[in-house]
Structure 1
Amino acid sequence: MMRRLATLATLLPALAVGVLVAAAPASAALPDRFAFVQWNGSATVPTGTTPAATTVVTGPPGRYRILFPGAGASRGVVHVTAINEVPHWCQANTWGPAGADEVVYVDCYKAGGSPDFTPFTAIFESSSPPTIAINGRFGYVDAQPTGALVSQFNSSGAVNSVTPVGVGAWLVKMPNLSTPGPVDGSLQATAVNVAPARCKVAKWSSAPSGQQILVNCYGPGGAPLDTRFTLTYQYQQSLYGAGWPPKYFGYLWNAPPLGPASTNFNSVLGPAVNTLMPAGTGLSLVKFPQLAVTPATVQVTATGPASDFCNLIMPWMYSGTDIIVRDVACYTNAGARIDSGFLISANSAF
């Protein structure tokens, strides 16, 4: 693998972008800033962390302070996924720049809503105009419960909107992110709250006019909850907005069963090549072939109309040139395994 990385770096100097992005000016091409971290419960994991000097400090039960050096930005979005053999979820608490760095606070909970320490994987990304032509489509929102936007980005240059449509429910529109439809690409949603909350993608539709997504959020008891949240849309782009080649990324929707080919993409091999194998009730083994270029991050978001949630039961693995996720686990609000829908996204820093 190291030989492969060295060869790519020699042949494609643009690979250095993965390291230099954090130092780019705010008006740079998408993205301005990005960083991610894998925390194993006691230390950061180099193959799942960039920049390499990222630090994680524990606080009160379930609270983490992440410092991403050189990634400071006054906007952007955070996504986080718990990694545990028993049902947990993680959410964003707050984030913002501290000089040149980005500081992100993450809170994690076990089923029922009690704060609890757990391994996790988290990503921060910030983009701003002017945009440049990209291979795919990319957008995000950071929205208050009222629908007011804390920040937003749309790679077409259009302005996204968020409209409350009920308690704990919002319609997110990302105009001009045109795709053939009826459902294309992938999404990640994360609650932002100082109290236990979690969010998911209830449903979405794609069309030449853009993307429309219904986001639902819940409290620890499973009742709909009004909360701030983040949502990122990717279509043939990485979860942090960078294009390809030479980027390595992939995504997949387990509806279940697998969603259409347009929701299963691999930046090396194209559509419909990532695979999913059921591994028991509520468990799914996912394989992303040819994407094992480190460091890389994996994020998961539950889909569907109920209060189910999903996590990873163990860190993803690198097997030859493939990323293996064994397994995605989904649960009812009470923590029982259930065959629920989910969206999964794997992304390399290079």
Structure 2
Amino acid sequence: MRRSFGALLIALVTTFAGVAVAAPPAAAALPDAHGFVLWNGTATVPSGTSPAGTTVVGGPAGVYTIRFPGQAAKGGVVHVTAINTGPRFCQAVKWGPSGADEIVMVLCSQPGGALVPAAFSAFFESSSGPAGPINGEFGYVDWNDPTGTMIDQYNSVGAVNSVTPLGVGLYEVKLPGLMTAGPVDGSLQATAVGSTPARCKVRNWTSAPAGQIAYVACFNSAGAPFRTRFTLTYQYNQSLRGAGWPPRYFGYLWFRPPVGPPTTNFNSQLGFGANTLLGAGTGLSLVTFPRLAVLPDTVQVTAAGGGSDFCNLLFPWTHTPTDTVVRDVACYNSGGARVDAGFLISDNSSG
């Protein structure tokens, strides 16, 4: 039976009772903490979960509580990707430390806003202090609308990120100092945050030696522009974890459509342009990341481009002896009909 939002909020508050706020960590090389989990609807999947011992508890319907053991940290960001053969989208509700562990709550919905059970892939990362030597660029924001508050932010060169609302549910995110040649380089992931069903996507972004400028668009469950808290992470020649190498096994790709320029298609083992996509024009995309089948790993997907469409995975990703294979990425319009739409996909190993 569908729970009212009021009942849901009570359940969320109850679940988070006793979760303490940790003191800010000392300056350290990034990341301070991270974790990811693959939930197949009934159990965690070890090949997509790190650290070992991560747990997921469901309830109320469509709401899940994740515990990442030993990963308590201040702030950070969460990204979530729904996994289902139908139109589903998942978001973060709240996260924070509880003792030595990090607790993350996830909510999954369908078009129209009904909370529904779903499999998902979720990712948490928190960074602070100097980055130390890394091979690329990395940054994130956790920004809350309508309060206009930057809850947390990180920039691997030490600059200060900013968010400017441009209209209802539309935001300009600046990550200064994350320099690339341009005009479009790297990859992004965006996730809505809150207890009201919502979703966010990357409308577009530009890259330059001065830094990155991304435009995030957020929508309610009916596809109308919506003011919400959201997270955004940028990676260039760098893991979504934000760490230097290791981890040595990660890759990302932009399906525009068609596939974006080589500077938006990176494989840490083979360089730019090595990841492949089949199925353009069909609304289903098979993505292969060669030589990245080092487990455990996580895959995250974010819709990209104009409109209010959203994307998920039909099934959990698989592995050949050498490659990570995502079959398939599916995208939908606000009514739940499958469409051929753009997306950003990122594969990241813990190794």
Q: TM-score, normalised by structure 1?
A: 0.92
Separation in 2, partners of 1:277, 1:244: 29
**Counterpart for residue 172 of structure 1:** 173
1:259-298 deviations in whole A, cap 9, x for unaligned? 0000000001100000000176210000000000000000
Bigger Cα displacement from structure 2, 191-200 vs 142-151: 142-151
**Is the counterpart of residue 65 in structure 1 residue 65 in structure 2?**
yes
Rounded to whole Å, the distance in 2 between the matches of 1:117 and 1:223 is 23
Residue matched to 2:18: none
Residue type at the aligned position of 2:136: G
Instruction: Give per-residue Cα distances to partners, 1:154-197, cap 9 Å, x unaligned.
Output: 00100000010000011000000000000000000000011100
Deviation per residue, 1:48-90 (Å, 9 max, x gap)? 0001100000011100000000000120000000000001000
Measure, in 2, the Cα distance between the counterparts of 1:317 and 1:286.
Answer: 11
1:50 is paired with a residue whose SS is coil
Letter in structure 2 aligned against 1:323: T
What is residue 128 of structure 2 aligned with on the other side? Answer: 128
Matched, 1:119 2:122: no
1:108 Cα deviation after fit: 0.2
Counterpart CA distance in 2 for 1:232 and 1:331 is: 23
Q: What pairs with 1:1-350 in structure 2 (closer than 5 Å)?
A: 26-146=26-146, 147-278=148-279, 281-350=282-351
Which residues of structure 2 form unaligned runs of 5+? Answer: 1-24
Asked if structure 2 preserves the Cα contact closer than 8 Å seen for 1:72 and 1:101, the reply is yes
- How high is the sequence identity, in percent, across the aligned residues? 64
C-alpha distance in 1, partners of 2:299/2:131?
A: 26
Kindly indicate whether the alpha-carbon contact (under 8 Å) linking 2:46 and 2:52 is maintained by their aligned counterparts in 1. yes
Cα distance between partner residues in 2 of 1:246 and 1:228: 29
Kindly state the Cα deviation for residue 133 of structure 1 after the two structures are TM-superposed. 2.4
Q: What do the CA deviations read for 1:99-120 (whole angstroms, capped 9, x no partner)?
A: 1100000000122211001100
Runs of 4+ in 1 over 3 A off after TM superposition: none
Compare 266-275 and 25-34 and name the one that shifted more.
25-34
Aligned residue for 1:17? none
Indicate conservation of the 8 Å contact 1:283/1:327, yes or no.
Answer: yes
Q: Which amino acid aligns with 2:340?
A: D
The superposition leaves residues 124-172 of structure 1 with CA deviations (integer Å, 9 ceiling, x where unpaired) of 0000012212110000000011442100000010000001000001100
Q: Give me the whole-angstrom Cα distance separating, in 1, the residues matched to 2:156 and 2:125.
A: 14
Worse-matched range after superposition: 289-298 or 239-248: 239-248
The separation in 2 between residues aligned to 1:51 and 1:131, in whole angstroms, is 22
The AA in structure 2 aligned to 1:254 is F
Find the aligned partners of 2:70 and 2:335 in 1 and give their Cα distance. 40
SS at match of 2:47: helix
Contact 2:257 2:280 (C-alpha < 8 Å) held by counterparts: no
Report the 3-state secondary structure (helix = DSSP H, G, I; strand = E; otherwise coil) of the residue aligned with 2:326: strand
Q: Distance in 1 between matches of 2:180 and 2:268?
A: 17
Q: Within 2, Cα distance between the matches of 1:269 and 1:245?
A: 16
8 A Cα contact 1:281 1:337, kept in partner: no
Task: Judge conservation of contact 1:148–1:162 (CA < 8 Å) in 2.
Answer: no
- The alignment partner of 2:72 has SS state of coil
The one-letter code sitting in structure 2 at the alignment partner of 1:162 is V
Once the two structures are TM-superposed, the CA of residue 27 in structure 1 deviates from its matched residue by: 2.5
Contact 2:57 2:64 in 1 (8 A): yes
Q: Distance in 1 between matches of 2:319 and 2:52?
A: 18
- Contact 2:200–2:217 (CA under 8 A) maintained in structure 1: yes
- SS of aligned partner of 2:118: coil
Count how many residue pairs are aligned between Structure 1 and Structure 2: 326
* RMSD over aligned Cα atoms: 1.0
Question: What is the distance in 1 between the residues matched to 2:270 and 2:27?
Answer: 32
Task: Write the distance in 1 (CA, Å) between the matches of 2:307 and 2:194.
Answer: 20
Change (3 A) 1:169 1:279: closer
Aligned partners of 1:26 and 1:58: how far apart in 2? 34
Q: What SS is found at the alignment partner of 2:263?
A: helix
Q: 1:6 maps to which residue? A: none
- Give the whole-Å Cα distance in 1 for the aligned partners of 2:280 and 2:341: 13
